[in-house]
Structure 1
């Protein structure tokens, strides 16, 4: 049994392929199918099964596209209420994959319809736990109060997770390898390790969730301090329940032009230094200048589902890569056009005199746009106003404008977006981005 882990770093997402005797199963596939097809071809295997551990909230899955193009059967829990062709895969069900056997265990907690896949062949046992068991943590229980076929309150799901962790893995051996759907950086949990896999024995020893504790203690720990929920999460659950459109046809009609102006919501993906030197008035600077930047997460947190926007890119050569990234969260249908900028009639962002700011903090209105969970752990500036970035488009109008405004986050990436949002909403205010200089004010 050959197991291949695929990683999409911006969303901290892991997907998988299992091959046995020329047959291949794909688990929790990302939107771009090319990696799975290439792996199947390299191993002279045919894709016969696609398995969804649950309807994902943080990315769009390609399960329906793979089914259409290969004829492979899609498997998921009957509780999903999937609208695409599929077969039920719940406790008691199994799939023969060459010489391997894949069994399902219902493991609710992150969602009511979550399953874990137990893959075995000879002495190999692998657990594909989706968003149920992460390395060092378990999936958050608060994403299905408003989305999905089965809705459940966070307290109900936290109680389900306690039962899952306490009972559903008890018959499995310590040497079983755990392969989760996410690693550190994902918003589907709060304390994920950066390890890509573990063993069930190590998690029993080291993960807080497997330690002996009361149900009340477990639930309180799980519910406390979860990160914010981006606005696109419920939207992606709905897409994945229905099955996404094939990717390439979805991107073909999106044009690229050079412009000096645009109307409506504008997202500029260029690096902050270039953006500050010249950008279209009203643009939001969500940077996508590295292959690991959290562009998708912040695009989906700042721009609402089905809200049209124009994308400004740095070079024409990057168009396809950026469209691929936008498609990871299903936002390609909201994209009106992709543009590059001429150098005419562009707005500039003023540069903060950091030394003056250091010595005259009371002369500025300081805005902290970190996540609420970060703010709760301690402020960097005692008098800073709290306006988390995911809420900022709705709350920025409440920021006083009687003195210059300085926007900060924890490291500089998010404040580029935050300061551009504040400048757009408070058009006559003087707005500065503290950027990476925030590190000079931290212990």
Structure 2
């Protein structure tokens, strides 16, 4: 049994290929399937199956595209109510792939329809646990109250997760390998280890979820302090339940303009780095940076822009086009993307730089807006009188902020404050808005 782990870093997403005797299966694939095709080709293997551990909330899967392009059968729990061609795969079901026996365990908790894929090759056992069992944590239970075929309240799912951890893994050996669908940095859990895999024995010893003895204490611990839920999560659950269109076809429909004026009246998202944005940008545009491969662009695009909201993108250079289109499509937002353009050089706005010396000496002369998440603020403020307005809600709460003083926006490191300051500049015209950016480090 050969196992390959693939990582999509911006969303801390892991997907997997399993190969045996010229046959290959893929578990929880990302939107672009080409890396799996390349791996199959390199290993002289045929892709015969795609497993979905559940309908994902934070990314769009390529399971339907892979079915159409390779003929692979999609396997998913019958509880999903999937609208694409598939075979139900639940506890008791078995599939033989080369020398590997693949079975399912129904492991509800993160969602009511979650399964864990168990692959056995002789004495070697591997568990593909989806968003149920992470390394050092378990999946959050509060994402399926408003989306999906099977809706469930968070407390009900937390109770299911307790029973899953108590009962579902008991018959499996300590040396079983654990391969989750997410690592540290995902919003699908809160205290995930930076390790990318583990063993079941290590999780039994070190993962808090295996140590809590009472159901009530487990539920309280699991529900406490979960991160915010981006706007796009429910939309992605529904998209994955139906199956996304073939990626290259979807992206081919999006027009590109070289130095083109954007005049369709829709929202403009400028993905360039904050320094470039501040030197000149289209009036009213928002700065959600995608300046590096690891930047959390997808998360913040899906948190700031609503799933049904049309928008345009401004990029720095034509060479950036293909990559940014794929990043937008990772969360299924290509359907709302009206156009992509490189920045026009005419009629641009600038953002003033903060006089840091004056701010340090006279902080009371400014309205300070802290756009970190609620949990971060609860751990401690950097400025005593700062107003808390989390970035994911800022477009809705901006009108609550006093405009009697210049506004200074900060986060924890500078990335989010670029977006936050651009939002407030757009929402509160006539008020000076400054981005503290990475100078926040001086106040920690």
TM-score category, normalised to shorter length: over 0.9
Tell whether 2:58 aligns with 1:58. yes
Equivalent position of 1:420 in the other structure: 422
Of 322, 338, 352, the match for 2:324: 322
SS of the equivalent of 2:441 reads helix
Deviations 1:229-253 (A, max 9, x none): 0000000000000000000000012
SS of the equivalent of 2:173 reads coil
Equivalent position of 2:70 in the other structure: 70
Equivalent position of 1:134 in the other structure: 134
Distance of aligned partners of 1:335 and 1:212 in 2 relative to their CA distance in 1, 3 Å threshold: closer
Indicate if the aligned counterparts of 2:370 and 2:386 stay in contact, CA closer than 8 A: yes
Q: TM-score, normalised to structure 2's length?
A: 0.99
Equivalent position of 2:15 in the other structure: 15
Indicate if the aligned counterparts of 1:260 and 1:345 stay in contact, CA closer than 8 A: no
SS of the equivalent of 2:222 reads helix
SS of the equivalent of 1:25 reads strand
Shift of 1:366: 0.2
Equivalent position of 1:259 in the other structure: 260
CA distance in 2, matches of 1:308, 1:97: 44
Shift of 1:261: 4.7
Equivalent position of 1:81 in the other structure: 81
Equivalent position of 1:27 in the other structure: 27
Deviations 1:223-276 (A, max 9, x none): 000000000000000000000000000001212112245432000000000000
Indicate if the aligned counterparts of 2:212 and 2:218 stay in contact, CA closer than 8 A: no
Shift of 1:341: 1.5
Q: Flag structure 1 segments of 5+ consecutive residues without an equivalent.
A: none
Equivalent position of 1:224 in the other structure: 224
Equivalent position of 1:339 in the other structure: 341
CA distance in 2, matches of 1:121, 1:67: 25
Equivalent position of 2:152 in the other structure: 152
Of 382, 386, 393, the match for 1:380: 382
SS of the equivalent of 2:148 reads coil
Of 295, 298, 315, the match for 1:296: 298
The 5 Å alignment of 1:36-55 reads 36-55=36-55
Deviations 1:137-185 (A, max 9, x none): 0000000000000000000000000000011001100000000000000
CA distance in 2, matches of 1:75, 1:45: 19
Shift of 1:93: 0.4
Equivalent position of 2:115 in the other structure: 115
Quote the RMSD (CA, aligned, Å): 0.7
Deviations 1:351-400 (A, max 9, x none): 00111101111000000000111111111111111110000000001111
Indicate if the aligned counterparts of 2:59 and 2:331 stay in contact, CA closer than 8 A: yes
Q: Which runs of 4+ in 1 moved over 2 A?
A: 259-264
Q: TM-score, normalised to structure 1's length?
A: 0.99
CA distance in 1, matches of 2:323, 2:67: 24
CA distance in 2, matches of 1:259, 1:47: 42
Between stretches 255-264 and 94-103, larger displacement belongs to 255-264
Equivalent position of 1:272 in the other structure: 274
Of 363, 366, 371, the match for 2:365: 363
CA distance in 2, matches of 1:219, 1:213: 11
Of 408, 411, 436, the match for 1:434: 436
SS of the equivalent of 1:319 reads helix
Indicate if the aligned counterparts of 2:272 and 2:290 stay in contact, CA closer than 8 A: yes
The number of residue pairs the alignment matches comes to 442
Of 400, 407, 410, the match for 2:409: 407
CA distance in 2, matches of 1:321, 1:397: 35
Shift of 1:342: 2.6
Shift of 1:212: 4.0
Indicate if the aligned counterparts of 2:140 and 2:188 stay in contact, CA closer than 8 A: yes
Shift of 1:123: 1.9
Equivalent position of 2:311 in the other structure: 309
Shift of 1:213: 1.8
Deviations 1:7-65 (A, max 9, x none): 00001000000001111000000000100000000000000000000000000000000
Q: Flag structure 2 segments of 5+ consecutive residues without an equivalent.
A: none
